[in-house]
Structure 1
Amino acid sequence: MSDTEIIVCTTCRPPGASRELPAAGLALFEAVQDALLECELDTGLHKGLQVRGLACMSGCARACTVTLQAPGKFSYYFGDLIPDAETAAQVIACAQQHLHSDDGNLARNARPERLRSGILARLPPTGLSGLGST
């Protein structure tokens, strides 16, 4: 089983947000790091999850953004996320679903509430054919 990587845009700012204040994306990144550490301490369920921040994932109109990806699995790109501890916990829960899915598919109704909408992209695994292409 390949690790699922959680990538959080660290420069995301909601439209109209002041550039004088810290980026909301950075706040979300730090909250996800904290949630992953808490998960590690409480349950050990962090195994197989990696988190990293990335400056700009080009989702500026839909800040804050997060991607879930792993080799051989569908990748998901979410936007319009609230940069708080609840969203961070739900990102970790969704990443665990992705980790334990054979192909990375995340059914909408099975995803945590804050990741049921705001999906910006669902990308197929590289190198696989026959996934409904025309």
Structure 2
Amino acid sequence: MLKPVDDGPAIVACNTCRHSKDARENGDGQRGGAQLVEQLRQVQASHPRYAGIAVQEMACLFACADFCTVHLRAPGRVGYVLGRFDPDEQAATAILDYAVHYAASEHGRVPFGQWPQGVKGHFITRTPPPGFVAE
């Protein structure tokens, strides 16, 4: 049931997420999560600043009410689940831009002034890394 992946900074995107609150798929029958994964990979490939952030995917993050969700994680850092994104290039760019700041942070806390506009209002939960809780 578990598949090994690199343990560095990563965006784990739900590839089965709904397209939107009201639709499971787009007009072509593609789920929003699969579309977001495609956009994340395209944006990541477009600029070397994103090279240190892995784009990983898995089925169902169990955040179905919040469609197009991603889990941002890195060793020794607080993790975050974000959702309610449109599965487009703009959202993928905002997620990757935030992930760059996140990966450079000491404990996963990015100062609010560095947050891209496109991630504001999209945070669902934060998760402590194994062996820690956040203060």
Give TM-score, length-normalised by structure 2: 0.85
- Alignment of 1:73 with 2:77, yes or no, is yes
Given that 1:109 and 1:116 are in contact with CA atoms closer than 8 Å, whether structure 2 keeps it comes out as: no
Instruction: Give the Cα separation in 2 of the matches to 1:66 and 1:107.
Output: 20
Aligned residue in 2 for 1:28:
36
Counterparts of 2:105 and 2:22, CA distance in 1 = 38
**Alignment match of 1:87 (pick from 80, 91, 94):** 91
- Aligned to 2:90, the other structure's residue is in SS state helix
Which ranges in structure 2 are unaligned for 5 or more consecutive residues? 1-6
**Equivalent of residue 38 in structure 1, options 33, 46, 53:** 46
In structure 2, C-alpha distance between the alignment counterparts of 1:71 and 1:95, rounded to whole Å:
13
Match of 2:23 among 17, 24, 44: 17
Partners of 2:24 and 2:104 lie apart in 1 by 39
1:99 match: 103
Name the residue aligned to 1:7.
Answer: 12
Structure 1 distance, partners of 2:8, 2:66, is 26
Per the alignment, residue 112 of structure 2 pairs with 108
Unaligned runs of 5+ in 1: none
Tell me, what secondary structure is at the counterpart of 1:76?
Answer: strand
Q: How far, CA to CA, are the matches of 1:24 and 1:18 in structure 2?
A: 7
Looking at structure 1, the residues matched to 127 and 21 of structure 2 have their Cα atoms a distance apart, in angstroms, of 26
The AA in structure 2 aligned to 1:17 is: A
Kindly indicate whether residue 132 of structure 2 is the aligned counterpart of residue 124 of structure 1: no
